[in-house]
């Protein structure tokens, strides 16, 4: 990803340097909204989203942090004594991670993760990062791959938002549009915009807890418990079957 396309990382870097940042999420139906902003990516554990602070206690051993952003989870886990490999497809976000003190931060997209990184005891995908799986099919494929990258008692900790926790007719119409196209309701096609920068279009998958259970079945993983608000933001703990 070149700097002109790295809108997410440009926002991270600007915020890190003290500039005001407004991040825009543009959806493929023309809907435009501001995100929560980069402040959340730098937040201490006391300000993490619902379920995440509780979920982080389930992390054990060597950790792979997928979609690490500005490194808030990696930094916290480092302080707790964990060895962490933090990954993101944004080169500028990884630059920020390194400048903030993440010891092992690498520019790697989710589909490029493999056994060459070594074995992990925990994989974390917090900050709504279940969305990085992008689709039902790709989630199943990646979960099977992650099974081979983790120890016998390895676990995955993922965060999502219940896509149906809305009564907004614009969002409901988008869900229906997706279903008519053979996509999941929350399989969002979007891009990030910041100042003059625009990311490439990408899919981002937001699911309900029941949908997550359905996707995970048969991948060699099972959801042992949910944390947080099942009708809003929530976190799932996955264990090997």
CATH of residue 142: 3.40.50.150
- Give a yes or no: residue 32 inside a domain: no
The residues that bridge with 191 in the sheet, in sequence order, are 26
The residues that bridge with 233 in the sheet, in sequence order, are 161
3-class DSSP state for residue 210? Answer: helix
Q: What is the pLDDT of residues 54-67, one digit of tens each?
A: 999 999 999 999 99
- Give a yes or no: residue 19 inside a domain: no
For residue 36, what pLDDT band results from cuts at 50, 70 and 90? Answer: confident
Report the distance separating Cα 163 and Cα 209, nearest Å: 9
Instruction: Give per-residue burial for 176-195: e unless 16+ CB within 10 Å, then b.
Output: eebeeeebbbbbbbbbbbbe
Q: Is the dihedral of CA 55, 61, 67, 73 positive or negative?
A: positive
For residue 199, what pLDDT band results from cuts at 50, 70 and 90? Answer: very high
- Give a yes or no: residue 22 inside a domain: no
The pTM of this model reads: 0.95
DSSP codes of every residue in 100-158: HT-SSEEE--GGG--GGG--EEEEEE-SSGGGGG-SHHHHHHHHHHHHHHEEEEEEEEE
- Give a yes or no: residue 6 inside a domain: no
- What local confidence, expressed as pLDDT, does residue 74 receive? 98
- Give a yes or no: residue 20 inside a domain: no
- Give a yes or no: residue 170 inside a domain: yes
Q: What is the pLDDT of residues 167-184, one digit of tens each?
A: 999 999 999 999 999 999
How much of the chain, in percent, has pLDDT values that exceed 70?
100
- Give a yes or no: residue 195 inside a domain: no
Number of domains present in the structure of the chain: 1
Q: Is the dihedral of CA 237, 56, 151, 93 positive or negative?
A: positive
- Give a yes or no: residue 181 inside a domain: yes
How many Cβ atoms sit within 10 Å of the Cβ of residue 171?
Answer: 19
Q: Under a CB-based contact definition with an 8 Å cutoff, are residues 38 and 10 in contact? A: no
- For 152, the domain range is 48-187+204-240
């Amino acid at each position: 990803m070149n700097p002109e396309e790295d809108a997410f990382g440009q926002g991270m870097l600007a915020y890190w340097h003290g500039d005001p940042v407004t991040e825009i999420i543009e959806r493929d139906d023309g809907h435009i909204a501001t995100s929560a902003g980069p402040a959340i990516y730098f937040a201490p554990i006391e300000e993490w989203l619902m379920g995440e602070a509780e979920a982080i206690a389930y992390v054990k051993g060597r950790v792979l942090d997928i979609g690490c952003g500005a490194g808030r989870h990696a930094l916290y886990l480092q302080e707790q004594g964990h060895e962490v490999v933090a990954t993101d497809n944004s080169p500028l976000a990884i630059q920020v991670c390194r400048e903030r003190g993440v010891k092992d931060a690498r520019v790697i997209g989710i589909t490029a993760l493999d056994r060459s990184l070594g074995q992990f005891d925990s994989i974390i995908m917090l900050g709504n990062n279940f969305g990085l799986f992008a689709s039902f099919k790709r989630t199943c494929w990646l979960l099977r791959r992650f099974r081979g990258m983790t120890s016998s008692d390895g676990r995955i900790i993922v965060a999502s938002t219940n896509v149906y926790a809305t009564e907004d007719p614009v969002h409901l119409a988008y869900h229906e549009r997706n279903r008519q196209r053979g996509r999941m309701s929350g399989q969002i096609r979007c891009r990030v915009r910041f100042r003059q920068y625009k990311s490439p279009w990408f899919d981002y998958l937001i699911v309900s807890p029941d949908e997550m259970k359905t996707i995970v079945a048969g991948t060699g993983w099972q959801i042992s418990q949910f944390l947080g608000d099942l009708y809003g933001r929530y976190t799932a703990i996955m264990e090997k079957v």
